[in-house]
C-alpha cells in the first residue's frame, strides 16, 4: 500500500494559497520526497505524516522553486532527533547545489548520502523504493522519475515441497534470496508463484513531452505531471520555456495508458479558480486538477 501526497501545485514561486510542486510517497512507514521548494516543509507539517522517516529526496532539477526548501527541511528533520543517513538524488551538479544551500545547516546529526545521477536513464533501489530517473528536455538538466514498489510473487508451499526445498530455507527464498549452503543451491523461483504487479507512480515537471517519457510512465497507477497552463493558446510560450500544457500531459497519459493523471505546477498567472480541465478530460477522462495536499492510497492490485 503506497500513500501519495501532492504537497503543492505551484510553479515558479510560492504563493500565499499555493505551495510549490512536490510529491511525498509513504510505503511501509518510510518516505520519499520529490523536489523541495520554499515552503515544502510547511505543507508537510499541514499534511502531518512527520519528518523523521524521510529517507530519500529526489530533485528533478535545480531551479529555485524545486530546491530552496532543502536547508530548512533538513534543520526540521534534525529537530526530530533523526540520526539515520538521508539520501539525496539529483542531476549532475548535486554536490555543489547541496553544499551551497546547506551553508547554514551544516550542523545536523545525520549524514547526507548524495547520489549525483549521470545524465542518462537509470534505476536505483533505495529502501522500499525502486527509482527510475529519465533525462527530459528543459533549459537545465532535468529528470522525470518513476517510483515503483515491487511485490515478490506469492509463496507456494506445494511448489516448495514438490521441488524438495528444505523447510529451513523457505523464509530466505520467500524473501527473494538465493540460498547456497555447502552443496545446496536453491533459487526463489523454486518456492514462488507467478510474478505479481507492483505499484508504479510517475512524476514529471518542467519539460516537454518526449517519446522516452511516454515509455517511462507506461501503465503507471498514477502520473503526476506539469500542466503549466490549461489553455492551449499558451503552446508557443511553453515550447519556448520548455514546459508542458495540461493537454500535452493528457496526451502522454492516454498514450502511456496510465490509470490516473494529476496535473500540477500551475503558472502563478493561473489561480486555482481559473483551472478548467474540461477539454483536457476529453483527451484523458481520468485527469484531476491537483490541489495542495491532494492524497491517494494505491493498493497492490493482485492477490
Active site residue ranges: 65
- Does 64 sit near a copy of itself (CB under 8 A)? yes
From 102-110, 205-213, 228-236, 276-284, span contacting a copy of itself (CB under 8 A): 102-110
Q: What minimum distance in Å lies between the beta carbon of 38 and a copy of itself? A: 4
In angstroms, the CA 221 to CA 181 distance is 40
Helix (H, G, I), strand (E, B) or coil at 148: strand
If we measure between CA atoms, which residue out of 85, 1, 9, 5 comes closest to residue 272? 9
Mask for 9-48, x = binds a copy of itself (CB under 8 A): ---xxxxx--------------------xxx-xxx-xx--
The answer to whether the CB of 225 falls within 8 A of the CB of 191 is no
- Flag whether 265 is marked binding: yes
- Flag whether 206 is marked binding: yes
Q: For residues 46 and 181, which CB has a smaller minimum distance to a copy of itself in the complex?
A: 46
In angstroms, the CA 159 to CA 167 distance is 12
The answer to whether the CB of 9 falls within 8 A of the CB of 290 is yes
- Does 100 sit near a copy of itself (CB under 8 A)? yes
In angstroms, the CA 136 to CA 150 distance is 24
- Tell which one of 60, 68, 87, 267 touches a copy of itself (CB under 8 A): 68
Name the grid cell of 115. Answer: 547520489
- Does 97 sit near a copy of itself (CB under 8 A)? yes
The strand pairing partners of 89, in sequence order, are 58, 115
Edge-to-edge order in the sheet of strand 122-126:
122-126, 129-136, 142-149, 199-204, 222-226, 260-264, 287-289
Q: For residues 5 and 277, which CB has a smaller minimum distance to a copy of itself in the complex?
A: 5
Q: What residues line the site for a copy of itself (CB under 8 A)? A: 12-16, 37-39, 41-43, 45-46, 62-65, 67-69, 71-72, 75-76, 79, 96-97, 99-105
Q: Which residues are annotated as a binding site for Zn(2+)?
A: 61, 63, 65-66, 138, 206, 265
Q: Which residues are annotated as a binding site?
A: 61, 63, 65-66, 138, 206, 265
Amino acid at each position: 500500500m503506497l500513500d501519495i501526497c501532492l504537497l503543492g501545485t505551484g510553479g515558479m514561486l510560492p504563493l500565499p494559497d499555493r505551495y510549490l510542486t512536490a510529491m511525498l510517497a509513504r510505503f511501509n512507514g518510510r518516505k520519499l520526497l520529490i523536489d523541495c521548494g520554499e515552503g515544502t516543509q510547511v505543507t508537510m507539517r499541514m499534511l502531518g505524516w512527520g519528518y523523521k522517516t524521510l529517507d530519500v529526496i529526489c530533485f528533478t532539477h535545480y531551479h529555485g522553486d524545486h530546491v530552496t526548501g532543502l536547508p530548512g527541511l533538513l534543520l526540521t528533520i534534525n529537530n526530530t532527533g533523526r540520526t539515520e543517513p538521508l539520501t539525496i538524488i539529483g542531476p549532475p551538479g548535486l554536490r555543489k547545489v547541496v553544499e551551497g544551500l546547506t551553508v547554514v545547516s551544516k550542523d545536523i546529526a545525520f549524514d547526507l548520502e548524495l547520489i549525483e545521477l549521470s545524465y542518462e536513464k537509470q534505476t536505483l533501489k533505495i529502501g522500499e523504493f525502486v527509482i527510475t530517473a529519465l533525462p527530459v528536455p528543459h533549459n537545465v538538466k532535468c529528470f522525470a522519475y518513476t517510483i515503483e514498489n515491487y511485490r515478490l510473487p506469492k509463496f507456494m508451499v506445494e511448489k516448495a515441497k514438490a521441488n524438495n526445498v528444505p523447510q529451513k530455507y523457505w523464509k530466505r527464498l520467500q524473501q527473494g534470496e538465493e540460498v547456497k549452503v555447502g552443496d545446496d543451491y536453491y533459487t526463489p523461483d523454486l518456492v514462488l508463484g507467478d510474478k505479481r504487479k507492483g505499484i508504479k507512480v510517475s512524476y514529471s515537471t518542467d519539460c516537454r513531452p518526449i517519446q522516452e517519457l511516454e515509455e517511462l510512465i507506461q501503465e503507471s497507477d498514477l502520473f503526476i505531471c506539469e500542466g503549466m497552463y490549461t489553455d492551449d493558446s499558451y503552446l508557443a510560450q511553453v515550447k519556448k520555456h520548455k514546459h508542458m500544457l495540461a493537454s500535452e500531459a493528457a496526451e502522454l497519459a492516454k498514450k502511456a495508458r496510465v490509470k490516473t493523471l494529476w496535473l500540477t505546477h500551475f503558472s502563478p498567472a493561473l489561480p486555482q479558480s481559473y483551472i478548467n480541465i474540461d477539454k483536457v478530460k476529453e483527451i484523458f477522462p481520468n485527469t484531476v486538477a491537483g490541489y495542495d495536499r491532494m492524497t491517494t492510497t494505491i493498493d497492490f492490485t493482485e492477490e
